Amino acid sequence: MAEHSSLPPHLPASRAMALVLAIFLLFCCATGARAAVAIQQVTSEKGITAWLVEDYTVPIIAVRFAFNGGSSQDPPGKEGLVNLMTGLFDEGAGNLDSDAFQIRLDDAGAEMAFSEGRDVIYGSMRMLAERRDEAFELLHLAVEKPRFDAGPVERIRSQILSGIVANENDPDTIANRKWIEALYGAHPYARRAEGTRESLAAITPQDLHAAHRAMFARDGLHVAVVGAIDPETLKRKLDEVFGGLPETQHLVPVPDIVPKLAQTVQVNYDRPQTSLRLAYPGLPKTAPDLYAAAVMNQILGGGTFTSRLFREVRDKRGLAYSVDSTLVSHKHASALLISTATSSERASEALEVVREVVRHMADDGPSADELAAAKKYLIGAYAISNLNSSSAIASTLVQLQLDGRGIDYMQRRASYIDAVSLDEVRAVAKKLLSADPAVLVVGPALAGGVKE
């Protein structure tokens, strides 16, 4: 789901922020992606740790943080609770109601946003360095003292409900629900993060406060800060923002699950284009062969214009505009997903070509030339994709913390990829791609059904 954000619509501070952001973008273009990022670990007096990248190029501070939890913590019958909560942190906090909070946020020239994933709640703030005291105080109120007043709760609930109603007859939304339920069954990952009409109606402000108390605690917190702030100042701000939170989270245990493969989910819909999705086994982020799998995936379908799938499905046969594969690793489940869309009359052909490309990769693995090209790309593209702005760097650093990578991971990553051998890639290809996948078909029923 998209982040809930507060974007100032008013006057002086907003214009100043827009001007600074424009200057910032010019600096980003001029300096390019940063090949080396100097990361400091900062620990406050209350024991709150953050990764800091000092950067005084422009007077902006980007803060990104995450709490363990996410939509998998929604109680049965109250699906959508965490999603609703993330829409309310800037809708009143402390002694400020919604209007007063938004005015103060605008006056401070700051932007605040929250969102949820299956296993994490994300938060971020971008502020002018000269207004950091006001901005950090508002972030402190939002994080520690959200109000969840009845008026804003009903307004945000209605917005979410409107989206649910609008998507009730959308074939792709329906298909995605059936797909997730088929893969995960009764597991929390199968629940609808946005909720349902019934579950949204059942959520009370008391539920929101209880979820906040359970998840917003220091032992589940991960923080990264990039910009014009020094370590000693940051230490004080960390304690101001997060120091009053409880020490320990109270999360409901979520079991690990292996997605159910070897099945076909057909969503019949009369339209000229058919969407196809295949799920194969994946790997957890702690797997020793994860880097071999990343290289293999790059060769299979990760490369936009260079992958085998792109070459066979689009270039040679013109079956689809795009086709790609990706490794998905959640905290409690993982998979390798392949996605494409094609004209409905050629959907059976496209699906067979995809499966044939996968079979060849499983049986024979890549060539030495493919291995070398994939390594070069994965090493070179990392900075461009993850380090091209202060906010992107902060997001990357928080994700590295969530993944348990260590503060020097950026320096080590290239060596891990470079060390991957051809035999290791061939082994992981056989391991993941020899399985019978789960297949999702959205469109007219395939002629002759789905071939095994």
Distance in angstroms (rounded) separating the CA atoms of residues 113 and 123 = 6
Mean pLDDT of 30-52: 81
Report yes or no on 129 lying in a domain: yes
- Rounded to an integer, what is the distance from CA 426 to the centroid of its chain? 29
- pLDDT band (50, 70, 90) for residue 450: low
Q: Is 275 helix (H, G, I), strand (E, B) or coil?
A: strand
Report yes or no on 287 lying in a domain: yes
Mean pLDDT of 124-141: 98
Distance in angstroms (rounded) separating the CA atoms of residues 302 and 309 = 9
Q: Do 228 and 309 share a domain, yes or no?
A: no
Q: Do 326 and 383 share a domain, yes or no?
A: yes
> Mean pLDDT for the chain?
92
Query: Per-residue pLDDT for 247 more than 70?
Result: yes
Report yes or no on 93 lying in a domain: yes
Report yes or no on 356 lying in a domain: yes
**Tell me, what's the pLDDT at 10?**
39
Report yes or no on 328 lying in a domain: yes
- pLDDT band (50, 70, 90) for residue 184: very high
Residues 195/159, Cβ–Cβ less than 8 Å: no
Q: Do 181 and 317 share a domain, yes or no?
A: no
Q: How many domains does the chain have?
A: 2
- The structure's pTM equals 0.89
Domain of residue 382 covers 264-443
Q: Do 228 and 300 share a domain, yes or no?
A: no
- pLDDT band (50, 70, 90) for residue 132: very high
Report yes or no on 252 lying in a domain: no
Query: Per-residue pLDDT for 372 more than 70?
Result: yes
User: Which of the two residues, 131 and 18, has the higher pLDDT score?
Assistant: 131
Report yes or no on 250 lying in a domain: no
Q: Do 229 and 84 share a domain, yes or no?
A: yes
CA distances from 108 to 1, 103, 133, 238, 369 (A): 27, 9, 9, 18, 54
Q: Do 229 and 298 share a domain, yes or no?
A: no
pLDDT, tens digit, for every residue of 308-359? 999 999 999 999 999 999 999 999 999 999 999 999 999 999 999 999 999 9
CA distances from 360 to 275, 357, 430 (A): 23, 5, 10
Percent of the chain with pLDDT over 90: 87
Q: Do 162 and 307 share a domain, yes or no?
A: no
Q: Do 234 and 360 share a domain, yes or no?
A: no
